[in-house]
């Protein structure tokens, strides 16, 4: 699909207000681009591996929204007119920059995917696991290698980050053939697919982002995995417990669990909306292994409900935890009645494994 991109050149001071104004007009999910340096905490939340050095005018910002073909030219002119009025109002008490409004057409998703293919190469992950895009083979495969094929990364998760590597290492250690696996926050489906290829029985991947579900399904198909082996669905365990709170008391308990700043900072617009009926169609059940490669701020509240999805003797594998949050995560697991089995560090990231 070709999208129209409406962009306002403004100031850092006004960027958030303009994004909120666009949401009030009915166009949520504004993209904000500026040259403000990320804080250390923001870099941790975004899985940034190297410091980002800002370039350009530190006060300049761009606020953009993407409009599909259903938005008419007349409606676009109306949006521009309303923005002009709001810029004039804001300019009375703050800098709004140039206030220039531009309209461009963006490339469709397939063009983005083609560009991404130029940079994503096959790689070996451990002694006998290869992550391989469908358009390029790994040159030195061994007969006993497990190959995870990737056709789409429209969501987070390519297998290259330390957090994913830690989860894979723990899966290899704790997964027995035929066991069931629940991947919470599946991203592009790497961990769930690998679990199936390593011999897991039933595998369920869940993500709050519908695009992640689409991407995961495409990747599962690329690996020859049908829905009787692996299922991906959209839902949010920490918002109403979509998998199936059976009583009002359970619903209220789960509503108290906050998503935290981690996931909310990734893409709040695409998070499933329970009020619109988005819900996981699979009833709540217990699994042999639950894996969550997310963030500490999400894993901590998730720990309070993880036991509900674990069989007796089940394993809870978590990663995406910065080294300085390990104690917080282990404390949350102990409070939930889980026994911490081990912690492993890789760079500045950690995996924490617990059992029921």
Tell me how crowded residue 237 is: count the other CB atoms within 10 A of its CB: 26
Task: Look at residues 107, 109, 131, 108 and name the one whose alpha carbon lies nearest to residue 120.
Answer: 131
What are the DSSP calls for 200-269, one per residue? Answer: -SSEEEEES-HHHHHHHHHHHHHTT--TTTEEEEE--TTSS-TTT--SHHHHHHHHTS--HHHHHHH-GG
**Phi/psi at 216 (5° precision):** -65, -40
- Is the model's pLDDT at 288 over the cut of 70? yes
Report the chain's mean pLDDT, rounded to a whole number: 78
- What's residue 114's pLDDT? 59
Rounded-to-integer distance, Cα 190 and Cα 98, Å: 44
How far does Cα 193 stand from its chain's mean position? 16
Which of 81-90, 130-139, 212-221 is modeled with the greatest confidence?
81-90
Q: Given CATH 3.30.70, say whether it is the number of domain 3-106.
A: yes
Residue with tokens 């991404």: 116
Least confident window among 190-194, 212-216, 278-282: 278-282
Considering the entire predicted model, what is its pTM?
0.63
Task: Look at residues 299, 298, 296 and name the one whose alpha carbon lies nearest to residue 316.
Answer: 299
* Residue of higher predicted confidence among 283 and 167: 167
**Tens digit of pLDDT for each residue in 5-37?**
899 999 988 998 999 899 888 887 788 887 655
**353 DSSP 8-state letter:** E
Parse the chain into domains and list their residue ranges: 3-106, 155-355
CATH architecture of structural domain 155-355: 3-Layer(aba) Sandwich (3.40)
Rounded-to-integer distance, Cα 182 and Cα 174, Å: 14
């Amino acid at each position: 699909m070709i999208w129209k991109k409406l962009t306002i050149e403004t100031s850092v001071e006004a960027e958030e207000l303009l994004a909120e104004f666009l949401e009030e007009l009915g166009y949520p999910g504004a993209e904000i681009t500026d040259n403000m340096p990320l804080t250390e905490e923001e870099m941790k939340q975004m899985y940034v591996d190297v410091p980002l050095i800002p370039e350009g005018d530190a006060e300049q910002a761009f606020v953009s929204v993407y409009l599909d073909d259903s938005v008419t030219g007349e409606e676009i002119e109306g949006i521009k007119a309303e923005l002009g009025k709001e810029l004039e109002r804001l300019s009375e008490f703050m800098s709004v920059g140039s206030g220039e409004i531009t309209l461009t057409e963006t490339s469709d998703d397939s063009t983005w995917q083609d560009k991404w293919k130029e940079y994503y190469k096959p790689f070996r992950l451990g002694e006998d696991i290869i992550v391989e895009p469908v358009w390029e083979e790994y040159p030195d495969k061994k007969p006993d290698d497990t190959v995870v094929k990737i056709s789409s990364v429209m969501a987070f998760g390519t297998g290259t980050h330390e957090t994913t590597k830690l989860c894979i290492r723990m899966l290899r250690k704790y997964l027995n053939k035929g066991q069931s696996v629940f991947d919470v926050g599946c991203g592009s489906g790497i961990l769930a697919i690998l679990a199936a290829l390593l011999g897991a029985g039933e595998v369920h991947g869940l993500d709050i982002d519908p695009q992640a579900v689409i991407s995961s399904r495409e990747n599962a198909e690329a690996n020859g995995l049908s829905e009787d082996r692996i299922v991906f669905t959209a839902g949010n365990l920490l918002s109403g417990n979509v998998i199936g709170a059976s009583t009002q008391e359970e619903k209220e308990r789960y509503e108290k669990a906050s998503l935290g700043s981690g996931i909310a900072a990734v893409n709040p617009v695409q998070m499933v909306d329970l009020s619109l009926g988005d819900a996981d169609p699979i009833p709540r059940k217990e699994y042999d292994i639950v894996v969550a490669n997310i963030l500490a701020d999400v894993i901590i509240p998730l720990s309070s409900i993880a036991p509900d999805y674990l069989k007796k003797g089940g394993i809870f594998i978590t990663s995406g935890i910065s080294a300085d949050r390990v104690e917080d995560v282990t404390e949350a697991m102990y409070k939930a009645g889980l026994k911490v089995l081990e912690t492993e560090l890789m760079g500045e990231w950690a995996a924490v494994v617990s059992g029921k």
